[in-house]
Amino acid sequence: MSSIRTLVLLLLSALPFSAGAAVTAGDLPAGTVWYMHADLQKLRSTESGKGLAIWFDSEVGDELRDEIGIDLGQEVNSVTAYSDTTHGTVILVEGPITKKTQEKLVAMAMLEGDLDIREYGGKTYYYADGDAEHSGGSEPLDDLDDEAYFSFAIDGKAIVTSDENHMKALLDNGGRVVGSKSHDGALFVLTADVSFVQAGLMTKEFIDADDDGDWESNIVRNTEQAAVLIADHEGKIAVEAQLKSKDPKMAESIAGIVNGLISLQAFNTDLPPEIKSLIENTKVEVLGNILRINTVVDPALITTMLGD
């Protein structure tokens, strides 16, 4: 594993994700193939998210503190990550990341392999050479195995890119991403007043050519986009997923299957009341080639399930 991938995974593993305002389609560059944005700060501060934040800190935060002595849960407010066809992967981590933590992460990256210290416009950034054995894959973050750049030069931000020119552009722009505002074929982005996690992708970028043609693979091949939102809704947690299908008939078929499964479980007398309530609150809608599935979950149910 390359040194920069180790650094990135350390940063990402500390979060269910990011602070700051929610991401909109106009915030992403043209050609974006996947994105993720999350709000750890809101997760900690809302009643619906507190249980998840406590669970996460006990499951992941304690391990990080014990193993590497870094409390990223207290030093990270937000993460925005995306990849586009021009610049490759970009990850922006925002929060009060201390100098001590920065030094530890740089030292750990140096132990993993060669690390060059570079300067641009009076700002320091680091270059990590690629890992030829693991580079060239099609999974998210794989391009960071070819070559990667990271910097703490912008106050309150950690920047990771797979392209040096994009690192320089972000340093020039104070770590702010220049979005496309709007364009045809843009990824759709689900938003809410209080968003915890947003994510989406262009599925064609991740289709395996060796898929054997089963039903699941057929769904993926006939889906152009997918998006997910986890948010606060009147003290509960709302979950929404949308699929943009190439064919309205495929959207209707998937909706029929999901509705059938929901109907079957509604008559299951062995289900606990809270699970039955979750199923009853799940709604499936189709508008043209867009399939929309959403539900509202009691936060206590989620923390109980995670505890089990």
pLDDT of residue 125: 96
* Span 259-275, pLDDT tens digits: 888 888 777 777 787 77
Average pLDDT, the chain: 79
pLDDT of residue 307: 67
pLDDT of residue 16: 33
pLDDT of residue 35: 92
**3-state SS record for the chain:** CCHHHHHHHHHHHCCCCCCCCCCCHHHCCCCEEEEEEEEHHHHHHCHHHHHHHHHHHHHHHHHHHHHHCCCHHHHCCEEEEEEECCCEEEEEEECCCCHHHHHHHHHHHHHHCCEEEEEECCEEEEEEECCCCCCCCCCCCHHHHCEEEEECCCCCEEEEECCHHHHHHHHHCCCCCCCCCCCCCCCCCCCCCCEEEEEEEEHHHHCCCCCCCCHHHHHHHCEEEEEEEEEEECCEEEEEEEEEECCHHHHHHHHHHHHHHHHHHHCCCCCCHHHHHHHHCCEEEEECCEEEEEEEECHHHHHHHHHC
pLDDT of residue 198: 92
pLDDT of residue 18: 35
Domain residue limits, the chain: 3-21+29-172, 195-307
User: For a pLDDT cut of 90, what percent of the chain falls above it?
Assistant: 24
Of 2-6, 41-45, 64-68, 218-222, the range with the lowest mean pLDDT is 2-6
**Is a pLDDT exceeding 70 seen at residue 58?**
yes
Read off the pTM: 0.81
* Span 99-141, pLDDT tens digits: 988 888 888 888 777 789 999 999 999 998 766 454 444 566 7
**Is a pLDDT exceeding 50 seen at residue 13?**
no
